[in-house]
Structure 1
Amino acid sequence: MTRFRQFLVNELKVCSEAEAANRIFFISAREMLDVRLKERGVIHHAYQVEGHQYRAMQFCNFETQFEQLISKSAISTKFEAHARRAREIVGEMRNNLDVVQNSTLKRKAELQSNFTTKEAIFKECLNNWKEFERLAITESQRLRNEVHLKVSADFYEEMQKLESIIDRFDNKFIDESAAIEEYKKNLADFVDKIVTEDLEARCTRGLMQRIWNLENSMYLHVNQILAEPYTKKLEQIWRYRPPFNFSICINCPSLMQDFREDLEFRFSFGITAIIRRINAYRLGKPITAVGSQPLLDVFKSYTKQANIEVGEGNMQQNCQEEMQMMTTAESQENAMMAQLILSSIGYVANGSLGLLVIGGIVSKAISWRFIAAGIALYGGLYAAEYWRWNSGAKEQHLKDQFRHHLNARMRSVATTHTLHCETQVLREMQQVLGGLKSTVGGVHQEMKTELDNMRREIEKIDHVTKGLNTIKGKASFLNTDLDRFENEFLKNGSHSPVIQ
Structure 2
Amino acid sequence: MSGSIIREKPAHLTPTRPNSVTNVIKSDKNLISVDKHKDIQQLKEKVTGILNIISRDHMKVVFFGRTSNGKSTVMNAMLRERILPAGMGHTTNCFLQIEGTDKVDAHVLVPRSDEPKSIVSLKDLGNALSHEKLDSDSLVKILYPKEKCRLLRDDVILVDSPGIDVSVNLDHWIEDHCLDADVFVLVVSAEATITVAEKKFLHNVAQHLSNPNIFILMNRWDAIMNEQENVDSVRQQHLERGMEFLCDELQLYDRKVVADHRVFFVSAREAVLYRAPDPGNSPKTGFAEGYKERLTEFAKFEEEFEKCISKSAVKTKFEQHTNRGKEIINLLRDTMGNIANKSQSLKQECVQKRTEQSEKHDFIEKELKSIMETTKDRIRHVSEDVYKRVAQTLNDEIKRLYTLIEEFDRPFSSDPEQIPLYKRDLHKWVEERLGSNLQARLHSALHSSLDSVHKEIKERVKFVVNNERKSMLDTITPRSDFAVSYRLDCLNLCSDFKEDIKFKFSLGLSSLWQRFVQNQHQQSTLTMTEGNNSTLSQNTSDSLISTSTLLNSTNDILTTANTITSLTSKSSLLLIGGCALIWRGVGWKVLGVVGGLYGSLYLYERLMWTKKAQERKFKRQYADYASSRMKLIVDMTSGNASAQVQQELSMYFAQTIRYVDMEKDDICDYLKQLKQEIDQLLLYNDKAKVLKKQADWIDQQLNQFSKQYLSEPATSINSSV
1:438 correspondence with 2:658: yes
1:402 correspondence with 2:640: no
- Give the AA of the match of 1:129: L
Instruction: Kindly provide the CA deviation profile for residues 364-391 of structure 1, in whole angstroms up to 9, marking residues without a partner as x.
Output: 9xxx999999999988876664453222
The whole-number CA distance in structure 2 between the counterparts of 1:443 and 1:372 is: 99
> Could you say which residue in structure 1 is the equivalent of 2:488?
250
What is the 5 A alignment of 1:69-80? none
> Could you say which residue in structure 2 is the equivalent of 1:468?
688
The whole-number CA distance in structure 2 between the counterparts of 1:136 and 1:174 is: 56
> Could you say which residue in structure 1 is the equivalent of 2:364?
125
Structure 1 residues without counterparts, runs of 5 or longer: 1-67, 283-343, 347-351
What's the offset of the Cα at 1:158?
0.8
Instruction: Kindly provide the CA deviation profile for residues 374-418 of structure 1, in whole angstroms up to 9, marking residues without a partner as x.
Output: 999988876664453222111111111111111011101111111
- Give the AA of the match of 1:461: L
Give 1 or 2: higher helix fraction.
Answer: 1
What is the 5 A alignment of 1:85-100? 85-100=324-339
The whole-number CA distance in structure 2 between the counterparts of 1:176 and 1:216 is: 58
The whole-number CA distance in structure 1 between the counterparts of 2:715 and 2:590 is: 163
SS of alignment partner, residue 486 of structure 2? coil
The whole-number CA distance in structure 2 between the counterparts of 1:87 and 1:197 is: 95
- Give the AA of the match of 1:259: F
> Could you say which residue in structure 1 is the equivalent of 2:499?
261
What's the offset of the Cα at 1:242?
4.9
Of residues 379-388 and 433-442 in structure 1, the stretch that sits farther from structure 2 once superposed is 379-388
**Larger relative contact order (CA 8 Å, sep ≥ 6):** 1
The whole-number CA distance in structure 2 between the counterparts of 1:281 and 1:87 is: 124
The whole-number CA distance in structure 2 between the counterparts of 1:375 and 1:102 is: 127
The whole-number CA distance in structure 2 between the counterparts of 1:120 and 1:281 is: 77
* C-alpha spacing 1:226/1:240, structure 2 compared with 1 (3 Å): same
Of residues 148-157 and 266-275 in structure 1, the stretch that sits farther from structure 2 once superposed is 266-275
Question: Which of 148, 160, 173 is the aligned partner of 2:412?
Answer: 173
SS of alignment partner, residue 266 of structure 1? coil
1:426 correspondence with 2:623: no
The whole-number CA distance in structure 2 between the counterparts of 1:437 and 1:447 is: 16
Instruction: Kindly provide the CA deviation profile for residues 434-491 of structure 1, in whole angstroms up to 9, marking residues without a partner as x.
Output: 2223333233223322222222222222222222111111011123323444565567
Question: Which of 419, 428, 443 is the aligned partner of 1:204?
Answer: 443
What's the offset of the Cα at 1:227?
1.8
SS of alignment partner, residue 225 of structure 1? coil
The whole-number CA distance in structure 2 between the counterparts of 1:124 and 1:371 is: 98
The whole-number CA distance in structure 1 between the counterparts of 2:512 and 2:348 is: 95
What's the offset of the Cα at 1:78?
9.0
The whole-number CA distance in structure 2 between the counterparts of 1:75 and 1:391 is: 137
> Could you say which residue in structure 2 is the equivalent of 1:457?
677
What is the 5 A alignment of 1:1-12? none
> Could you say which residue in structure 1 is the equivalent of 2:394?
155
SS of alignment partner, residue 175 of structure 1? coil
What TM-score does the superposition give when structure 2 sets the normalisation length?
Answer: 0.44
- Give the AA of the match of 2:613: A
Q: Is the 8 A contact 1:490 1:496 kept in 2?
A: no
Q: Is the 8 A contact 2:465 2:659 kept in 1?
A: no
SS of alignment partner, residue 393 of structure 2? helix
Instruction: Kindly provide the CA deviation profile for residues 4-47 of structure 1, in whole angstroms up to 9, marking residues without a partner as x.
Output: xxxxxxxxxxxxxxxxxxxxxxxxxxxxxxxxxxxxxxxxxxxx
What's the offset of the Cα at 1:150?
0.4
The whole-number CA distance in structure 2 between the counterparts of 1:99 and 1:370 is: 135
The whole-number CA distance in structure 2 between the counterparts of 1:211 and 1:240 is: 9
* C-alpha spacing 1:99/1:373, structure 2 compared with 1 (3 Å): farther
* C-alpha spacing 1:369/1:129, structure 2 compared with 1 (3 Å): farther
What is the 5 A alignment of 1:331-480? 385-480=605-700
What's the offset of the Cα at 1:174?
2.2
- Give the AA of the match of 2:474: E
Q: Is the 8 A contact 1:203 1:246 kept in 2?
A: no
Structure 2 residues without counterparts, runs of 5 or longer: 1-306, 522-565, 569-573
1:111 correspondence with 2:350: yes
Of residues 397-406 and 426-435 in structure 1, the stretch that sits farther from structure 2 once superposed is 426-435
What is the 5 A alignment of 1:262-277? 262-268=500-506, 272-273=510-511
1:142 correspondence with 2:381: yes
What's the offset of the Cα at 1:128?
0.6
- Give the AA of the match of 2:415: E
Q: Is the 8 A contact 1:87 1:479 kept in 2?
A: yes
Q: Is the 8 A contact 2:326 2:699 kept in 1?
A: yes
Once superposed, what is the RMSD of the aligned Cα atoms? 4.2
- Give the AA of the match of 1:168: E
The whole-number CA distance in structure 2 between the counterparts of 1:210 and 1:281 is: 49
SS of alignment partner, residue 418 of structure 2? helix
The whole-number CA distance in structure 2 between the counterparts of 1:274 and 1:99 is: 115
- Give the AA of the match of 1:392: K
* C-alpha spacing 1:411/1:373, structure 2 compared with 1 (3 Å): farther
Give 1 or 2: higher strand fraction.
Answer: 2
Identity %: 22
- Give the AA of the match of 2:684: V
